[in-house]
């Protein structure tokens, strides 16, 4: 009787999934250019003893059941994080796994209080989800559509499932997530690092601590101390800056004056300068601003973009707001078609969700993916920094390595 090791059995299962995915044109709709490559690899993995390729049959594919598990996990911030409307020292999350045919995909729902989502609500939603009704994780479109029928909200919970499915699919195909979308990891951009609102002494200390590691700094503004914040940072570094007012400015004339003042001090972009309800004021500001004005709180999901053209220069996409990578990619394509700039951001998150977002970063103009760097109890090693630029893992899926 021929014996197989656990490793060889897992490899045979992976080859079956490659065959299935390649022959179906990749059910996810990922990069068509990848299909011939997967077909070639699939055929070569089914060579006969004579070296000729054996026919690949879908009949041999038998999907198992997807088993989902999840648990609360509170992130601890290295420093108190302050924006225009609140401060906090922790961020609640729900960590999630999906097991399938010997592989495990990891996902995460980050739940900063200002989003309005709770751990209890996230857990309640996840308990309603039945993934066993789906043949395989490759049915991502069907699965994510099904999640919206359970509840129109709960975007972070849906993002956790989407992220875990992408991680799982990448592992099954033996490919990093960014390659599933046909992206070049060498084009991953620099990420900004966020300096929260604080006293001049603390702001100076934080700036000195990170100025040598990053190519762009992001400043939280929206209070009466804005100019003091910027001048303090400028006293110790000449790095390019971007600002995020988190809806903190309300007068459009004053906001415009502030943007011109910031422009003179090397600020390259302004994020959500005014309350999202002040649409006419924001459109007026964007038309006259000396820098791009990016929507954050105004932009949640794909359907929002059609109302933002002409109001903002571009959009900030966050997986926790838009339900994950599947919709984030669609938003990027749509925004580009409308001539808008694209930014990808994050909440306070572990390297799981940040790496997922970074997988799409080769497509963007601005990246703000520092959420994992703001915490002291990360669960994973994932995306790294090299000379201030994002460096994506080359391992399959998200390429995460547990650290606890």
Q: Residue 150 maps to which CATH number?
A: 3.30.390.10
How much of the chain exceeds pLDDT 70, in percent? 83
Contacts of 202 by beta carbon, 8 Å cutoff, 6+ apart: 79
- Confidence grade of residue 212 (pLDDT, cut at 50, 70, 90): confident
For residue 244, tell me if it sits in a domain. Answer: yes
For residue 167, tell me if it sits in a domain. Answer: yes
For the domain that residue 217 is a member of, what is the CATH number? Answer: 3.20.20.120
Is it the case that residue 92 has pLDDT exceeding 60?
yes
| Shared-domain flag, residues 75 and 15 | no
| Shared-domain flag, residues 172 and 257 | no
| Shared-domain flag, residues 128 and 216 | no
- Taking residues 306-334, report their average pLDDT: 97
Helix H, strand E, coil C: the string for 3-68 is: CCCHHHHHHHHHHHHHHHHHHCCCCCCCCCCHHHHHHHHHHHCCECCCCCECCCCHHHCCCCCCEE
Task: Tell me the residue range of the domain where 136 lies.
Answer: 67-179
The structure tokens 């997988």 sit at: 359
| Shared-domain flag, residues 377 and 261 | yes
| Shared-domain flag, residues 34 and 143 | no
pLDDT digits (tens, 9 = 90+) for 118-167: 999 999 999 999 999 999 999 999 999 999 999 999 999 999 999 999 99
- Taking residues 313-325, report their average pLDDT: 98
For residue 159, tell me if it sits in a domain. Answer: yes
For residue 316, tell me if it sits in a domain. Answer: yes
What's the pLDDT at 217?
95
| Shared-domain flag, residues 87 and 141 | yes
Domain final residue pick, 30, 45, 60 = 60
Domain final residue pick, 111, 144, 179 = 179
* Cα within 13 Å of Cα(190), Cβ side: 15
Most confident of 23-27, 69-73, 217-221: 69-73
For residue 103, tell me if it sits in a domain. Answer: yes
| Shared-domain flag, residues 105 and 243 | no
Q: Say which range, 28-32, 38-42, 166-170, 175-179, has the weakest mean pLDDT.
A: 38-42
What's the pLDDT at 158?
98
| Shared-domain flag, residues 187 and 175 | no
| Shared-domain flag, residues 99 and 152 | yes
Nearest CA to 399 out of 59, 27, 184, 105 is that of 105
For residue 329, tell me if it sits in a domain. Answer: yes
| Shared-domain flag, residues 193 and 276 | yes
Domain final residue pick, 179, 199, 226 = 179
- Confidence grade of residue 365 (pLDDT, cut at 50, 70, 90): very high
| Shared-domain flag, residues 138 and 196 | no
Pick 387 or 212 by higher pLDDT. Answer: 387
Count of domains for the chain: 3
What's the pLDDT at 60?
32
Find how far residue 214's CA is from the centre of its chain.
19
| Shared-domain flag, residues 89 and 23 | no
For residue 223, tell me if it sits in a domain. Answer: yes
What's the pLDDT at 80?
75
For residue 1, tell me if it sits in a domain. Answer: no
Is it the case that residue 34 has pLDDT exceeding 70?
no
């Amino acid at each position: 009787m021929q014996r197989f090791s656990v490793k060889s059995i897992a490899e045979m299962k992976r080859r079956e999934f490659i065959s299935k995915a390649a022959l179906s044109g990749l059910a996810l709709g990922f990069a068509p250019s990848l299909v011939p490559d997967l077909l070639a690899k699939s055929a070569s993995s089914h060579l006969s003893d004579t070296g000729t390729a054996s026919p690949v049959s879908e009949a041999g594919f038998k999907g198992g059941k997807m088993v989902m598990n999840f648990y609360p996990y509170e992130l601890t911030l290295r420093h108190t994080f302050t924006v225009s409307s609140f401060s906090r020292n922790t961020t609640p999350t729900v960590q999630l796994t999906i097991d399938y045919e010997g592989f495990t995909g990891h996902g995460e729902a980050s739940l900063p209080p200002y989003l309005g989502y709770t751990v209890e609500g996230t857990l309640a939603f996840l308990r309603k989800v039945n993934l066993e009704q789906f043949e395989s994780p490759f049915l991502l479109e069907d699965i994510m559509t099904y999640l919206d029928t359970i509840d129109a909200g709960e975007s972070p919970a849906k993002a956790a499932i989407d992220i875990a499915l992408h991680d799982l699919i990448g592992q099954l195909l033996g490919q990093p997530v960014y390659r599933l979308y046909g992206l070049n990891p060498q084009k991953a951009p620099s990420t900004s690092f966020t300096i929260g609102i604080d006293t001049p002494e603390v702001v100076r200390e934080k700036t000195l601590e990170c100025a040598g590691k990053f190519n762009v700094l992001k400043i939280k503004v929206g209070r009466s101390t804005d100019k003091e914040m910027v001048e303090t940072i400028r006293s110790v570094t000449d790095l390019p800056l971007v600002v995020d007012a988190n809806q903190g400015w309300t007068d459009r004339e004053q906001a415009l004056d502030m943007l011109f003042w910031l422009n003179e001090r090397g600020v390259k972009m302004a994020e959500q300068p005014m309350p999202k309800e002040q649409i006419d004021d924001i459109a007026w500001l964007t038309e006259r601003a000396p820098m791009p004005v990016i929507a954050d709180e105004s932009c949640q999901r794909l359907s929002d973009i059609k109302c933002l053209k002409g109001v903002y220069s571009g959009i900030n996409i966050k997986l926790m707001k838009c339900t994950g990578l599947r919709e984030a990619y669609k938003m990027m394509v749509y925004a580009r078609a409308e001539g808008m700039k694209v930014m990808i951001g994050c909440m306070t998150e572990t390297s799981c969700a940040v790496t997922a977002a970074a997988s799409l970063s080769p497509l963007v103009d601005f990246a703000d993916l520092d959420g994992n760097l703001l915490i002291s109890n990360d669960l994973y090693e994932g995306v790294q920094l090299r000379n201030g630029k994002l460096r994506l893992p080359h391992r399959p899926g998200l390429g995460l390595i547990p650290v606890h």
